[in-house]
Homo-oligomer: A and B are copies of this chain.
């Protein structure tokens, strides 16, 4: 019996995600969010309880999407481990012109890391999951003789994600794809 929504909540979260991704939390005003989503203030505050809550929803959407894709890649046993790692890193080499430069997660760690424990907890847990998955994949490759078993698997996994973070910062700065490619190749030489 109630009046139904005239907008798609998912689309609104998606628009907010791109805006926060591009401009950060503080620099994005609720007015900007209204314009980007095409909604009025009331609709936004009715569907989401606050700017911070909408940010949380947007970040979760980003994290879920990218983590799912990464985990699928990490656990794809049809590919050699080196190839999987290459593809993980490769996502930061050629920027998608339809999306903001850099990585929303990295941006958020940098902007809110020291100040927002809720957000930090969310990102930490996600990072742990990915780290554990890659560590397991590397260990499996080691026992299969695909990689040198002497190296610390957890350290190698941390290494991959650290380089990925660096590549995404470089992408935010507008690094040239050929430079990024050289970094990926140099990274793989450690394995």
Contacts and interface: CB of A to CB of B under 8 A. Distances in A.
A124 interface: yes
Most buried by B among A22, A107, A151, A186: A186
A112 to B, nearest CB: 9
Interface string A100-114: 111000110111011
Closest A-B pairs by Cβ, 4 of them: A155-B182, A166-B166, A26-B26, A162-B166
Contacts of A170: 158, 162, 165
Tell me what chain A mostly uses at the interface: helix, strand, loop, or mixed: helix
Given A155-B179, A159-B182, A182-B159, A113 B109 contact: no
A179 to B, nearest CB: 5
Interface in A37-84: none
Given A101-B113, A110-B110, A190-B190, A183 B162 contact: yes
24 contacts: A24-B26, A24-B111, A101-B113, A102-B110, A106-B169, A110-B111, A110-B169, A110-B172, A120-B173, A123-B173, A154-B182, A155-B183, A155-B185, A156-B182, A158-B170, A158-B175, A158-B179, A159-B186, A162-B166, A162-B167, A162-B170, A162-B183, A165-B170, A190-B190
A125 interface: no
Interface residues of A, number: 48
A152 interface: yes
A82 to B, nearest CB: 13
Given A101-B114, A111-B24, A114-B100, A183 B169 contact: no
